[in-house]
Chains A and B, each alone.
Chain A
Amino acid sequence: MSLLDLKLIRDLRALKSQAAAVAIVMACGLAMMIMTRSLIVSLETTRDAYYRDNHFAQIFSRLKRAPNSVSAQLAAIPGVATVQTGIALSVTLDLPGVIEPATGLIQSLPEQGELTLNRLHLRAGRILVGRESTGEILVGEAFAQANQLKPGDEIAAVLYGRRQNFRIAGIVLSPEFIFEAPPGAALPNNKTYGVFWMPYKELARASNLDGAFNQLSLQLVPGASEPAVIAAVDHILRPYGGRGAYGRTSHPSHTRLRDEINILNGLSIGFPLVFLSVAAFMTNAVMGRQITLQREQIAILKAFGFSNGEIGRHYLKFSIVIVAGGTALGVLGGVFLGERLVDMYHVFFRFPALNFQLASTVVVLAVLVSSIAAIIGVAGSVRAAVRLPPAEAMRPEPPSSYRPALVERLGFGRLFTVTFRMALRNIERRPVRASLTVGALALATGILIVPNAFRDGIGYVLDYQWDLIQRQTVMVSLIEPSPARTLADFKALPGVILAEPVRGAAVELRAGNQFRRLSITGLPAQAELFRVIDSSGRQISLPPEGIVISRKLADVLGVKIGEILFVRGLEGKRVEFSVPVAGLSEDFAGTAAYMEIGALNRHLGEGDRINAAYLTVGAGQWNEFLHAMKASPRAGSVVVKNKIRQGFRETTAQSIGLLQQIYLTFAAVVAFGIVYNSARISLSERQRELATLRVIGFTRGEVATVLVGELMMLTLIALPCGLLIGSGFARVILMTVNTEFVRLPLILTAQNYAFAVLVVAVASAISALLACRRLDQLDLVGVLKARD
Chain B
Amino acid sequence: MAHAAFTSAESDLAPVFQARALAKTYGEGDAMVRALAGLDLECRAGELVVVLGASGSGKSTLLNLLGGLDTPTSGSLFYRGWDLGGADEAGLTRYRREAVGFVFQFYNLIPSLTARENVALITEIAADPMTPEEALHMVGLGARMDHFPAQLSGGEQQRVAIARAIAKRPAVLMCDEPTGALDVNTGKAVLEAIERINRELGTLTLIITHNSVMAEMADRVLTLSDGHITGEKHNLTRAAASTLAW
Q: A residues within 8 Å of B by Cβ?
A: 398-403, 417-419, 421-422, 425-426, 429, 688-689, 691-700, 702, 780-781, 784-788
Contacts and interface: CB of A to CB of B under 8 A. Distances in A.
A401 B148 contact: yes
Contacts of A691: 108
A67 B161 CA distance: 104
A696 B96 contact: yes
A689 B110 CA distance: 6
A400 B150 contact: yes
B106 A785 contact: yes
B61 to A, nearest CB: 9
B79 interface: no
Nearest to A783: B108
B73 interface: no
B171 to A, nearest CB: 13
Contacts of B104: 784-785
Contacts of B112: 400, 402, 421-422, 425-426, 429
A702 B125 CA distance: 10
A401 B150 contact: yes
Interface string B84-108: 0000011001101110111011101
Interface string B59-91: 010001001011000000000000000000110
A780 B124 contact: no
Contact of B121 (A402, A693, A787): A693
Contacts of B100: 697
Contacts of B8: none
Interface string B105-119: 110111111000100
A422 B149 CA distance: 13
A710 to B, nearest CB: 10
Given A693-B121, A780-B69, A421 B108 contact: no
Interface residues of B, number: 39
Contact of B108 (A426, A692, A697): A692
Residue from A418, A695, A785 having most chain B Cβ neighbours under 10 A:
A418
B111 A402 contact: yes
B150 A418 contact: no
A376 B114 CA distance: 36
Contact of A402 (B93, B98, B124, B148): B148
A422 B110 CA distance: 9
Contacts of B60: 781, 785
B113 A422 contact: yes
Contacts of A699: 90, 93, 97
A422 B165 CA distance: 19
A786 B102 CA distance: 16
A699 to B, nearest CB: 5
Contacts of A784: 104, 106, 108
A697 B125 contact: yes
Listed from nearest, the 3 A-B pairs whose CB atoms lie closest are A697-B97, A401-B150, A697-B96
Contact of B113 (A399, A418, A696, A702): A418
A788 B113 contact: no
B120 A688 contact: no
Contacts of B64: 781
B122 interface: yes
Given A400-B112, A699-B97, A787-B106, 10 more contacts: A402-B113, A403-B148, A421-B117, A694-B93, A696-B165, A697-B93, A697-B97, A697-B126, A785-B106, A786-B106
Contacts of A702: 125
B98 A697 contact: yes
Interface of B: 60, 64, 67, 69-70, 89-90, 93-94, 96-98, 100-102, 104-106, 108-113, 117, 120-122, 124-126, 148-151, 164-165, 168, 176
Interface of A: prevailing SS: helix
Contacts of A786: 106
A689 B118 CA distance: 11
Contacts of B67: 695
A697 B69 contact: no
B105 to A, nearest CB: 7
Contacts of A421: 112-113, 117
5 contacts: A398-B150, A399-B111, A696-B101, A697-B100, A784-B104
A436 B108 CA distance: 29
A697 B125 CA distance: 8
A406 to B, nearest CB: 14
A787 B104 CA distance: 11
Residue from B64, B101, B111, B148 having most chain A Cβ neighbours under 10 A:
B111
Contacts of A400: 111-112, 150
B110 A692 contact: yes
A694 B93 CA distance: 8
A159 B149 CA distance: 92
A696 B110 contact: no
A689 B69 contact: no
B112 to A, nearest CB: 4
Nearest to A403: B148
B150 A696 contact: no
A691 B64 CA distance: 14
Contacts of A422: 110, 112-113
Contacts of B149: 399
A788 B93 contact: no
Contacts of B168: 697
A484 B117 CA distance: 89
B69 to A, nearest CB: 6
Contacts of A419: 121
A695 B150 contact: no
A787 B109 CA distance: 13
A550 B176 CA distance: 83
A456 B93 CA distance: 52
Residue from B89, B98, B121, B126 having most chain A Cβ neighbours under 10 A:
B121
Nearest to B124: A418
Contacts of A399: 111, 149-150
B97 A689 contact: no
Given A402-B112, A429-B112, A700 B93 contact: yes
A688 B108 contact: yes
A692 B176 CA distance: 14
Residue from B89, B94, B112, B165 having most chain A Cβ neighbours under 10 A:
B112
A425 B148 CA distance: 12
B62 to A, nearest CB: 12
Contacts of B101: 696
A334 B203 CA distance: 67
Residue from B89, B98, B106, B165 having most chain A Cβ neighbours under 10 A:
B106
A420 to B, nearest CB: 11
A400 B108 CA distance: 13
A695 B69 contact: yes
Nearest to B97: A697
A429 B102 CA distance: 28
A700 B67 CA distance: 17
A697 B168 CA distance: 11
B19 to A, nearest CB: 19
A700 B94 CA distance: 11
A784 B175 CA distance: 13
A157 B122 CA distance: 87
A407 B91 CA distance: 37
Contact of B105 (A398, A418, A780, A785): A785
Contacts of A398: 150
Residue from A400, A402, A688, A700 having most chain B Cβ neighbours under 10 A:
A402
B6 to A, nearest CB: 10
A698 B106 contact: no
Given A399-B111, A417-B124, A788-B106, A696 B97 contact: yes
A698 B125 contact: yes
A402 B111 CA distance: 7
A699 B95 CA distance: 11
Contacts of B124: 417-418
Contacts of B89: 700
A419 B110 CA distance: 10
A698 B96 CA distance: 8
Contacts of A693: 110, 121
A203 to B, nearest CB: 84
